[in-house]
Amino acid sequence: MQRRTREIGIRITLGAERSRAVRMVLRDGLRPVRLGLTIGTGIVVLARLSFRPMFLRMTPLRSLSL
């Protein structure tokens, strides 16, 4: 973390715009979020496909004769 802070400070000192530095930090910080969303979405799609046959066999409670 300290190394990254130093790198950003050097970039700004050498003339980089603050907005570029902020974009760089946000891009790098959101990378794990994007990865997690992608993996999570894939897991949900696979789970939905695997549970679908089980839900197709279900009948509503009111249609059962008691």
How does pLDDT run across 9-40, given as a tens digit for each residue? 888 899 988 888 889 889 989 999 999 999 99
3-state secondary structure of 15: coil
* CA distance to 18, 24, 50, 52, per residue, from 4 (Å): 15, 11, 43, 47
Q: Where are the domains of the chain?
A: 2-50
Pick left, alpha or beta for residue 15 (phi over 0 → left; psi -120 to 50 → alpha; otherwise beta): left
What is the pTM for the complete model shown?
Answer: 0.58
pLDDT of residue 33: 96
